[in-house]
Amino acid sequence: NAGVTQTPKFRVLKTGQSMTLLCAQDMNHEYMYWYRQDPGMGLRLIHYSVGEGTTAKGEVPDGYNVSRLKKQNFLLGLESAAPSQTSVYFCASSGDRGTETQYFGPGTRLLVL
Amino acid sequence: EDQVTQSPEALRLQEGESSSLNCSYTVSGLRGLFWYRQDPGKGPEFLFTLYSAGEEKEKERLKATLTKKESFLHITAPKPEDSATYLCAYYTGRRALTFGSGTRLQVQP
């Protein structure tokens, strides 16, 4: 039981490049989330999903897209990376009620030059 | 506007020196107050969920309490391995958890 896994662990992009971050969970959770964490600002919600095939915007969705084609996977895409997207990205999942505990992945550190 | 504020930003303790971390919130319709621990370079790790004022939960040297305006994370006789950033977050039934900016705790031997 691996819990929540994220790939890659670290990536460097040039401004304008695109990439996809992958999150996978093996707990059969309905809810999945993408957060970014920046110094002094805490974790901020980018997008989330309440089930396979559904996505919704969070607090800071601009510049990101997501897809949830399979229940266990949640993809975060950056179509044209900007230096402001340099951050640490965390994926999380929780059960079928929003009050249930969210379990986090180990994070992806992204540097956009 | 719903918000959560953690204090202090950073705290340095000697091993065995008990203290408390504060999480003040102004939230309409609170449905859960969460505490997480985060080690450097890792994802947040769940500690506690509190649902109603007066509720308390304990785990080893940690005890979380909740009032109508704030939550405390009490650390009794801390050890160096308790050093981490402690995050509180609230849930209102909309979207997902909203996190505070955290308290960095350092426990010196």
Q: Which of B44, B53, B59 minimizes the C-alpha distance to B89?
A: B44
Longest dimension (CA), chain A: 39
Residue A77 pLDDT > 90? yes
Q: Residues B44-103: pLDDT tens digits? A: 999 999 999 999 999 999 999 999 999 999 999 999 999 999 999 998 776 678 899 999
Q: Residues A24-47: pLDDT tens digits? A: 999 999 999 999 999 877 899 999
Backbone angles phi, psi at A64, to 5 degrees: -125, 150
Q: In this complex, do A98 and B91 lie within 8 Å of one another by their Cβ atoms?
A: yes
Residues of A in contact with B93 (CB under 8 A): 98-99
Residues of A in contact with B98 (CB under 8 A): 45, 59
Selected for mutation to probe chain B from A100, A102, A103, A108 (highest B CB count within 10 Å) is A102
Confidence of residue A7 (pLDDT cuts 50, 70, 90): very high
Sign of CA dihedral B72, B35, B6, B69: negative
pLDDT at residue A98 in the model:
61
Residues of A in contact with B8 (CB under 8 A): none
A91 within 8 A of A5, measured Cβ to Cβ = no
